[in-house]
Structure 1
């Protein structure tokens, strides 16, 4: 319950009545201090009056005061500046490495807070705070969702920065990898990212005016031109397919020219995947986008509104794939264009985070502001997370709201991290 003690101290959720040290001196908490989640005392620069005298320093909190010794604080100089030791149970006197004995105070968690916290942890309904949501003011909800929206963008910024670092600091390549990952639409996202990291854009650039060669390089690097990647029941027809033969031959030439190695074709997942989502289709769509020079970072930066970004991402596979889902597997002719819903998801998960991340990288607030403006203009996602929160009474007006609610579930609810959630705070205080 130490986390709950931290929470009560941080938010000054104290039991009714005066606070006292173990030797009877009155305690007044003026400033709980800055919560430290790293090594060292739990709260920095707290201000407390003890016996009428103001102390400024650090506060350490434990379930039991003997935990001070269990954690080795009596040998750690970082704890020499502790001005107050707070514990749920006082069962020993504590001592610092400098030989001082800081005053101690027993802190009892208010019964209402304890009961509400246990209810949150044990609740079968999801989310556990559903009862409090309809009672929250619009301003309080908006404030928390705005913070969550920014949190999610910052997490995605970290992912993009990591990709840029893996691509020798190339933000152009990081954008391509990010776009490719989101073309996997979840189930093949990891494979698409690994494939994109394995696509030598410098080499592809020498052939970008030839769509067939671009597609051959893309599909070849995905391992999808390997005969063993073709299901056995379709292999004979595929190997006899003139288009497959031309493409395999072209890739063999290009792979030798540039010294390329494909990824393992076993990475791709097809089970319960709709044919229009097969990696062959998605990669062909990306090949056309690249060929049309719509997959570059400069083209993204030039998009000043949602409609221009939607036009930029609109694409369909090459002619062969409009009558096939896989090599040797014919289908009724269909343009297989990205649906409006798919383009919306790509804008939310690729365009917006990239604008925000690149804006941060370049210290260009205009790009960051544009990212938020796009989220305000885009339709909210329709998935089980958003529907769950809607059923609790939360408004979901745009993509910014849906992104905030996804962040809330993934980073707070799933981890039962109610003590860091503003909705959880409202629930706990009753």
Structure 2
């Protein structure tokens, strides 16, 4: 893609790149821990890349101590010498960019159609597509694993609690994900366990800790009906007793979203389902690790609601009777976003390759998700058959296309080198 030839600094010293280092997507130098030989001397440090040398000053790197360990400044146009914050002159290397590469990259950045690389997708070989999707699938699982590790750390190293928080977060199905995670961290499972044989008490703690047993959390038009029905009052009184017993403090109900949600996705319904799941001892990590097939996972994650919620979608608001069992679509999403990442994370933590392999196998057994992202890729000519494919393509859009990070994308690479 780039012209072949010897690499050298602007003052004629030979440059040999032994290791470009790790790409940094946050603030600081562009590449960390690179290894470079300059005139035979080995340097280990960071690399910064700009179009022009003067960008070093324009971006304020000369005043930033984080750039003191930059060992090489790579530019297309060396228009001036540059110094670090501690006063050292930096070696600079000019890397010329071919005109066709510039033109193709400019097209990618300014193309109004989405994704901008759509022209080359039909010409990709099966091997190119498969290898890139496999890498993206692993990248997505690794990303979810990091999130799980952080939750476990926040739960004082408890993998059981970390699993419950992960499970709860995904019961928010996107819009209420943050609220469910906040709620799950506010549920003292050690206290709930003392009343695990009483579903009513579990639901009281779950609803109470969510802040949903405060009368003002109910829309005003339903408050009188909620009080007259009695179930709200019974739950609230039970929660007040348990809150006093265990020194519980409810979260603010403000983070819960209801707008543009289908009634079956309201927090009340999802929390009632989680209460049942917990009561039936189906929300534990050991039970998850025993599952080896998709059907076993579906059975484990299958739940319903208590009788009151069969005819209500919030306190005081009646609706048609329904057991509100977990649908196949919801079950698949829970398997993809909770069960499989948890298997992979535990496999990484315990160094058990069998659990990691099982996670990948389960993704290949599930059908691809159906959403606007997957439809977009299908329209571009990509085959999307399994959940592994759809997870990879969601990762591609969110981490590459949306960020216009075409230079790290293998499809973007094919677009850049086309004639």
Same fold by TM-score, threshold 0.5 exceeded? yes
Out of 242-251 and 406-415, give the one that drifted further. Answer: 242-251
Describe how 1:38-53 pairs up with structure 2 within 5 A.
Answer: 44-46=34-36
Q: 2:368 aligns with which of 368, 380, 388?
A: 380
When residues 20 and 366 of structure 1 are mapped into structure 2, their CA distance, relative to the original with a 3 A threshold, is closer
When residues 164 and 22 of structure 1 are mapped into structure 2, their CA distance, relative to the original with a 3 A threshold, is closer
> Counterpart of 2:140?
152
Contact 2:81–2:89 (8 Å) recurs in 1 = no
> Counterpart of 1:4?
none
Contact 1:40–1:78 (8 Å) recurs in 2 = no
Contact 1:217–1:254 (8 Å) recurs in 2 = yes
When residues 57 and 289 of structure 1 are mapped into structure 2, their CA distance, relative to the original with a 3 A threshold, is same
Q: 1:419 aligns with which of 383, 403, 407?
A: 407
Quote how far apart the aligned CAs of 1:250 are.
0.9
Quote how far apart the aligned CAs of 1:47 are.
6.1
Is 1:273 equivalent to 2:277 in the alignment? no
Quote how far apart the aligned CAs of 1:106 are.
3.6
Out of 209-218 and 93-102, give the one that drifted further. Answer: 93-102
Is 1:179 equivalent to 2:167 in the alignment? yes
Contact 2:23–2:30 (8 Å) recurs in 1 = no
> Counterpart of 2:292?
304
> Counterpart of 1:33?
19
When residues 119 and 299 of structure 1 are mapped into structure 2, their CA distance, relative to the original with a 3 A threshold, is same
Quote how far apart the aligned CAs of 1:41 are.
8.6
Describe how 1:21-420 pairs up with structure 2 within 5 A.
Answer: 33-37=19-23, 44-46=34-36, 57=43, 61-66=49-54, 71-72=61-62, 78=69, 86-92=74-80, 106-420=94-408
SS in 2 for 1:240: helix
Contact 1:294–1:313 (8 Å) recurs in 2 = yes
Quote how far apart the aligned CAs of 1:284 are.
0.6
SS in 2 for 1:352: helix
Give the distance between the partners of 1:337 and 1:86, measured in 2 at CA.
58
TM-score, length-scaled by structure 1 = 0.87
Contact 1:184–1:192 (8 Å) recurs in 2 = yes
Contact 2:7–2:16 (8 Å) recurs in 1 = no
Q: How many residues align?
A: 408
SS in 2 for 1:45: strand
Contact 2:164–2:284 (8 Å) recurs in 1 = yes
Which digits, 9 at most, give the CA deviation of each residue in 1:308-330, with x for residues without a partner?
01100111101111111122222
SS in 1 for 2:35: strand
Task: Find the structure with the greater CA-based Rg.
Answer: 1
Which digits, 9 at most, give the CA deviation of each residue in 1:230-257, with x for residues without a partner?
1111111101112222211111111111
Is 1:13 equivalent to 2:2 in the alignment? yes
SS in 1 for 2:153: helix
Q: Which structure 1 segments of 5+ residues have no match?
A: 1-11
TM-score, length-scaled by structure 2 = 0.89
When residues 180 and 55 of structure 1 are mapped into structure 2, their CA distance, relative to the original with a 3 A threshold, is same
Give the distance between the partners of 1:272 and 1:78, measured in 2 at CA.
51
Quote how far apart the aligned CAs of 1:108 are.
2.3
Give the distance between the partners of 1:244 and 1:22, measured in 2 at CA.
76
Give the distance between the partners of 1:372 and 1:18, measured in 2 at CA.
43
Quote how far apart the aligned CAs of 1:225 are.
1.1
When residues 272 and 87 of structure 1 are mapped into structure 2, their CA distance, relative to the original with a 3 A threshold, is closer
Quote how far apart the aligned CAs of 1:149 are.
0.7
